[in-house]
Every structure is written in structure tokens, then in C-alpha cells.
């Protein structure tokens, strides 16, 4: 069984019940809904299908709402425009003849000689001058310009709030329909996350915020983004336009390492199996890309167009599963992460040591929020690890955490003795034997702010007979 989690983008190719069920049975753990496209009514149909499949397959599938964010796009026009090298063009929010329309004004963020990248860098322009809202640009290459494509401004000048008015409506919609994760597009500062968190709290939601790193600002403020978020997505599409492509591997690896240190789930996204949108087999480079992300310590890898609009969505998931299983055979446990003042961090390190020093067959962490499960997960232990919780939302959130299998109890766990008994019974049902050892962690406290502070190594038969 794979330990790396797989996030699949739901789109026209896989939006109905049967298609989603096939994705789940093939290995999907989290379903991503891209709110850059579609209406609320369309997304609601998909959410209902995901939840129905989750119930029918008895598997907790996480739902990730990916916000549109403050993206910049070309406006609408009738036909494709042939862009000629070295010709001058005018981009503007003002209408007029020979003007290429913009959806929003960006003139204040530009100056002469700045680069403007259009359609994920397919077309490159250089700013000549700014006349009020009119941006005069020189084309640095030839190509065809379509309406509504993306625009990127490399550098540090453009840094709006990551939460737009439309995003607020989308987040509230997600809270109402009980999605599990809010992926915050173009998150750049801790203030972006605080703003999103206030919206969630206002509507009494408990969604995890996954900050998408896709700009220079996001990279510069990565420590704050990790500290204030529940997880991180390395969104390599826009990031690859914002920074030099040659820097992507080192930036990705650095972000993963920082997330592992803090126990934050981290997703590596964009074009992982891009060739499988059209072809039934991936390239060798794509397979290496997936393996590299897993070796580096990623919790999850993500499929975008491969499942949303691709010809081979199921085959893409199956390929990702195969690569994950083979790569995980070579992963080594990570037992040391340095000193910490948090008891749960110390407990998770002791769990890793217990596994490495004794013949432990499984780990069970009793968790309310999922935090301890995340801290245990970062050690990348080979033994089966279970997050036991009576919170259905937490069980679904664990679908994003490397190596954690959720165990949902639809009743209160009671005291520690009862929780340990639940754990032993479950492990026995999973095929373990009476003389097998397992590690159990939980929180023992009379306060409402219960924290993990207990670790036991127990024998299954001894627990069941007591």
C-alpha cells in the first residue's frame, strides 16, 4: 500500500459519480476543485458526488477548494491575435481600437524594461512606456494570443492581497458545504493567511489552509507561510514563470525540508504527468519528477490537467501509485529533527526511536486535530501508521498526510484504556497477531487544551485479554 497521498483535480473528464469512484479505487486520496473555473452549482454537484463515493467506498476522501486568487488575465476579444516579434502592442483596461484588453489595471506595477509574461510564459513582452492606463509593450517572440489567458509580472512589484472579493464568496461556499482544505492561491504574507482564517472562523469552519507558493514574495516569506498555515502547496506552474526555471528544483526541495521540520503536509503540484493528458504512458523525466518529490519528503503529489481534462485520468492515477510504491521502498526513516519545546514533537521523535529500536508492527496516534499524526508522519516510518479520531473532519484531513491511515470512531473514545482497546481491536482486524507490539500515543489532561503527552508500547493480545 502506498504512503504518499495523491491529489486529483476534478474536471470535465471525471466529474460524475462513476468517474470519481474509479479515481478513488485507483488511489485518489484528495479531490481538488479549481475555483478558477465553474460555478457554485457545478461545484456543488461534484462535492455531493465525492461525498457519496466516500460513503459507498468507506474511504475518507478529502476535498480541497483551490481559490482563484488575484490572478491577472487578458480580457475578452473575438479571435486569436497573431503576435509578431519586435512589434509594439498596447495592453489596457480602457477600450479602443488596436488595444488588447485587460481584466484589471496593472499599469501602476510596471515600469520601462519590465518583462510581462503571457499564457504561462508562451509570449514574452518588454515594457516600452506607460501612458495612464495604456501599457506599451514590445513583443520578444512570435506566437498567438488567446482571450482570458494568464499574465505574470516577474519580480516583487505586484503583490496584492491573496484573498479577493470572489475568493471570500468561494471560501464561504466551501465552509457551508464542508470542504476540508482551502488552497490559498498566490499566498504571499502571513496577513493573507490571517485574513482567510478570520473568514473561516467567522463562519465557524475548521478547514485547513494550504498556502500555495507561486511567487517571489511567497518564497521570501516561506517561513511565515509555513508557520501560519496547516500545509503548503508548491505550485510550480506560476512559480516557474515567476522565477528562473533552473531554480525550481532547489526551491522545491528547500520548501519540502522546511515543511517536514514543522510537520506541515506539503503538496508538489503541476505537470507531474503532463504528457498523459494526451498519451497513455508518461515520459521517463516525469516518472523521475514524481520520485524526486517523494524522496525529498513530499506528503502528496498532485494531478491537474491529467485528470481534469485528460484522456487517461485513471491511468495517470495508477501510474502515480506505481511510482510511489516503488520509490517508498527506498525511503529511509528520519528519526532526528532537533530539539523542541513542544511535548507532541518530542513524543513523535520517541515514536520513531521506538520503531527503530524494537519490533513494533504498527503505530496508532489518538488525535483530535491531526497535529500529532502530522508530527509522526514527518519521520517517514515504514510500519503502518493510523490516526484514530472521532472527528469526521479530522479523519478526512488526514487524507493529505503521508503514511497516515485514518481510523474513524463514530463515538467518543472514552478514557485512555478504552482508546487503547479500540486500537488493539482495529489492528487485530487488520491482520496483526496477539504477540505483535504497537505504539500508542494520546493526550492525558483534564483541561480543554489537551495535548499529546503519552506514549505506550503494548502487545495486542495483552490489551485484548486485560
User: Is 67 one of the catalytic residues?
Assistant: no
Query: What confidence score (pLDDT) does residue 97 get?
Result: 82
> Distance (Å, rounded) from C-alpha 36 to C-alpha 238?
14
Q: Any catalytic annotation for residue 32? A: yes
The secondary structure of residue 120, as a DSSP letter, is: T
CA distance 68 to 337: 35
Q: Decide if 212 is catalytic.
A: yes
pLDDT at 444: 66
Whole-number pLDDT of residue 160: 79
Q: From the candidates 3, 60, 73, 197, give the one annotated as an active-site residue.
A: 73
Q: How many CA atoms lie within 13 A of 57 on its CB side?
A: 21
User: Among positive and negative, which fits the CA dihedral 164, 169, 174, 175?
Assistant: positive
- Domains of the chain, first to last: 5-69+161-327 (3.20.20.60), 73-152 (2.40.33.10), 343-465 (3.40.1380.20)
Cite the DSSP H helix spans in 329-389.
343-357, 371-377
Q: Where are the alpha helices (DSSP H) in 121-214?
A: 165-176, 190-202
**253 included as an active-site residue:** no
* pTM for this entry: 0.91
> Residue 241: what pLDDT?
84
Positions in the chain whose pLDDT score sits under 50: none
Q: Say whether 393 sits in a helix, a strand or coil.
A: helix
Do 243 and 275 touch, CB atoms closer than 8 A?
no
CB neighbourhood size of 18 (10 A): 10
User: Please, what is the end-to-end C-alpha distance for the chain in angstroms?
Assistant: 32
- Give the per-residue pLDDT at 96: 82
Strand partners, 360: 437
User: Annotated catalytic residue: which of 2, 3, 21, 32?
Assistant: 32
Which listed residue (9, 67, 270, 367) is catalytic? Answer: 270
Active-site residue among 5, 21, 60, 212? 212
Q: Which bin fits 212, alpha (ψ -120 to 50), beta or left (φ > 0)?
A: beta
Q: What gap in Å lies between CA 169 and CA 175, rounded to an integer?
A: 10
Which pLDDT score, from 0 to 100, does residue 413 have? 58
Cell of 178: 464542508
Q: Where do runs of H (alpha helix) occur along 380-441?
A: 392-397, 416-429
Amino acid at each position: 500500500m502506498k504512503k504518499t497521498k495523491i491529489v486529483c483535480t476534478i474536471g470535465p473528464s471525471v466529474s460524475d459519480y462513476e468517474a470519481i469512484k474509479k479515481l478513488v479505487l485507483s488511489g485518489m486520496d484528495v479531490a481538488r476543485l479549481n475555483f478558477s473555473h465553474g460555478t457554485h452549482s457545478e461545484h456543488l454537484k461534484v462535492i455531493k458526488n465525492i461525498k457519496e463515493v466516500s460513503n459507498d467506498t468507506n474511504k475518507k476522501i478529502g476535498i480541497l477548494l483551490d481559490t482563484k486568487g488575484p490572478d491577472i488575465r487578458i480580457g475578452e476579444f473575438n479571435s486569436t491575435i497573431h503576435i509578431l516579434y519586435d512589434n509594439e502592442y498596447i495592453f489596457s483596461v480602457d477600450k479602443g481600437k488596436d488595444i488588447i484588453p485587460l481584466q484589471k489595471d496593472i499599469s501602476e506595477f510596471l515600469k520601462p524594461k519590465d518583462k510581462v509574461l503571457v499564457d504561462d510564459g508562451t509570449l514574452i513582452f518588454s515594457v516600452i512606456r506607460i501612458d495612464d492606463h495604456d501599457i506599451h509593450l514590445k513583443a520578444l517572440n512570435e506566437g498567438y494570443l488567446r482571450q482570458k489567458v494568464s499574465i505574470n509580472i516577474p519580480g516583487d512589484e505586484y503583490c496584492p492581497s491573496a484573498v479577493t472579493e470572489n475568493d471570500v464568496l468561494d471560501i464561504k461556499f466551501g465552509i457551508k458545504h464542508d470542504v476540508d482544505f482551502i488552497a490559498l492561491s498566490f499566498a504571499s504574507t502571513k496577513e493573507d493567511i490571517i485574513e482567510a482564517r478570520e473568514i473561516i472562523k467567522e463562519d465557524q469552519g475548521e478547514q485547513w489552509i494550504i498556502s500555495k507558493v507561486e511567487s517571489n514574495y511567497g518564497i521570501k516569506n516561506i517561513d511565515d507561510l509555513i508557520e501560519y498555515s496547516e500545509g503548503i502547496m508548491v505550485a510550480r506552474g506560476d512559480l516557474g514563470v515567476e522565477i528562473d526555471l533552473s531554480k525550481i528544483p532547489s526551491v522545491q526541495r528547500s520548501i519540502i525540508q522546511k515543511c517536514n521540520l514543522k510537520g506541515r503536509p506539503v503538496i508538489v503540484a503541476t505537470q507531474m504527468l503532463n504528457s498523459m493528458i494526451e498519451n497513455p504512458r508518461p515520459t521517463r523525466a516525469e516518472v523521475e519528477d514524481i520520485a524526486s518529490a517523494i524522496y525529498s519528503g513530499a506528503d502528496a503529489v498532485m494531478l491537474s490537467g491529467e485528470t481534469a481534462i485528460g484522456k487517461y485520468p485513471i491511468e495517470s492515477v495508477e501510474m502515480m501509485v506505481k511510482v510511489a510504491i516503488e520509490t517508498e521502498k527506498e525511503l529511509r526513516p528520519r528519526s532526528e529533527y532537533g530539539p523542541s519545546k513542544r511535548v507532541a514533537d518530542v513524543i513523535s521523535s520517541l515514536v520513531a526511536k521506538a520503531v527503530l529500536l524494537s519490533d513494533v508492527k504498527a503505530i496508532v496516534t489518538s488525535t483530535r486535530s491531526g497535529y500529532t499524526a502530522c508530527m509522526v508522519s514527518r519521520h517517514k516510518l515504514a510500519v503502518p501508521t493510523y490516526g484514530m479520531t472521532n472527528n469526521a473532519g479530522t479523519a478526512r484531513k488526514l487524507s493529505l498526510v503521508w503514511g497516515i491511515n485514518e481510523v474513524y470512531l463514530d463515538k467518543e473514545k472514552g478514557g485512555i484504556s478504552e482508546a487503547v482497546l479500540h486500537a488493539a481491536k482495529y489492528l487485530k482486524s487488520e491482520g496483526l497477531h496477539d504477540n505483535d507490539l504497537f505504539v500508542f500515543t494520546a493526550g492525558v489532561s483534564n483541561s480543554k487544551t489537551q495535548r499529546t503527552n503519552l506514549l505506550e508500547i503494548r502487545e495486542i493480545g495483552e490489551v485484548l485479554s486485560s
